[in-house]
Structures are given as C-alpha cells and as structure tokens.
Amino acid sequence: MTELPARRLLLVHAHPDDESINNGATMARYRAEGARVTLVTCTLGERGEVIPPELRHLTGPALGAYRLRELTAAMAALGVDDFRQLGGAGRYSDSGMMGLPDNDDPDCFWQADLDEAAAHLVEVILEVRPQVVVTYDPDGGYGHPDHIQAHRVTTRAVELAAAAGWEVPKVYWNRAPRTVVEAAFARLERELPELPFDAAARVDDLPGVVGDELVTTEIDGTAHARDKAAAMGAHATQLKLTGAYFALSNALAQPLFTTEYYQLVRGERAPGGRESDLFAGLATEGTR
C-alpha cells in the first residue's frame, strides 16, 4: 500500500460552498503544511437558490453540474486536490429546506438509507485513514435536513470504520463561539452603511453558534484569508462576497471568519486551554 502523509484530515459537508464558509481557512492551512485534506460533499446542491440573475435559469441537475464546477474552483483556491461526492456525483440529491415537499423525494439525501450512505463514506475512511474527521453537530448547525443527515452518516461511518479496521482518533463538530460572533456582528453594524448590503443577519442566523465553553479548538487561518475568500468567491451562485463580509441568497450580510472553531466530540483533548491544532495530542506518522 502507498505510504500516506503523516497528517490526514477528512471533512464531510452537505453541499458545495459549506466547506469554504465553515472550514476554508482550516483546509488551506493544513494543505500548506503538507497534510492530506479530503473533502466529501454529500449532494451537489441542486435545490440551492441562485443569486446572479444571469444564472437563475440553472435548476436541478444543471445547477448541480454548475455547482460542481464552482466546487472545483474553490478547491483549487484552497490547494485541495482530493474532493469527492458521496457515492459518486449525483448519487444523492439536495433535499431542500426542512418541511418542504422536496424532503420526500426518494432520491434526496434526507431519504437515504443511513447504513447504505455510511458505507460509501466508510470506503473513503478506510482508504484515507484520517486521524481527524470534521462535520456538523446533530442539528446540522441550523436544522437543514442535508446537514443533519451528513452528521448522522458521518457518525455512523466512523462507527462502521472502527469495526472494519480504522478507528478515527478525533472527531470535531463545526462551532462558532457566541462572544466572537457577537463582536464580529457589532463591527458589521458599524460598517454596514459603507457596504453593498441593505441589512445584516442576526447572530443566531449563523450555524453552530454556541456558548464559548463548548468550543475546544480554534484554528488560526488568518495567513490564508485570501485563499478562503477566493474559495468562497468561487461559489458565486450561492453567495456574494465583499471584503470581510458576505451574504447568501437572503441578502443579509454576515462576517467572514478566518479563525475557525470546533468542538471535540470524540477522542482525547490536548492538555491546557483551547487546542490550536486539530491534530493536537496525536502521534502523526506516515502509514502504509
């Protein structure tokens, strides 16, 4: 078997753009440091709302294909060359927002058989053998069915992979500490009159906002701020980026964070205060 890099990070996300918003700086940092970074995206976001008027004709599979091209450009900006779609491109379709008839589509990710979907991810885990896996909390950060399902599938896949021979040492959920988010929104409110946005989102509109005490790990990605911004900018159907701020299809401004935060939910936390490295406390050596 080919020798694997010493540090291996796997991220599981629901749609193209989630990875750049949540983890773009983290991904760029670890790639720059020589780690293997693998992204698995569970759907192509075929039901996403398109922002640019000239692209609003894109719907369904055509939108999914376009968003895959956006994802490819975003990964190039972050230096990530290992990105995949769960079960292959188009295997699971976007489920739409919670409570919509889209949730009942038998081909959507929300309706996927848990063990079947997890088996696709197990294949990746056994190939990559990551020491660190990152995904969402049980609510998917904000209640989107595909995010919730990504959490469930990842959790189940980690269990199945352990039984099949690879125990993932550390699993993290994406988080955002409330005090940091509140301070960023206070700055946004002061600067909003000079920005091309009519209004700002609310603190609680952001996925994964929790009390500071739940955050175990913060990754300083400020050296890769341009990379994250470029990756987010590649997802032009889904967000509008202006400097240190962006808006989704709701047109409400929110901050772009270049320090990214996590909660360790599986594995041993490194001694001391917050970890500054997802691999903290691990003996990271190449493996065959």
Secondary structure of the chain as H, E, C letters: CCCECCCEEEEEECCCCHHHHHHHHHHHHHHHCCCEEEEEECCCCCCCCCCCHHHCCCCHHHHHHHHHHHHHHHHHHHCCCEEEECCCCCCCECCCCCCCHHHHCCCEHHHCCHHHHHHHHHHHHHHHCCCEEEECCCCCCCCCHHHHHHHHHHHHHHHHHHHHCCCCCEEEEEEEEHHHHHHHHHHHHHHHHHCCCCEECCHHHCCCEECHHHCCEEEECHHHHHHHHHHHHHCCCCCEEECCEEECCCCEEEECCCEEEEEEEECCCCCCCCECCCCCCCCCCCEC
Question: Cα(24)–Cα(134) distance, rounded to whole angstroms?
Answer: 12
15 is annotated as contributing to ligand binding: yes
Enumerate residues 6+ apart whose C-beta is below 8 A from 180: 212, 257, 259, 261
Structure tokens at 4: 């694997």
CA 12 to chain CA centroid, Å, is 6
- The binding site comprises 15, 18, 147
Binding residues for Zn(2+): 15, 18, 147
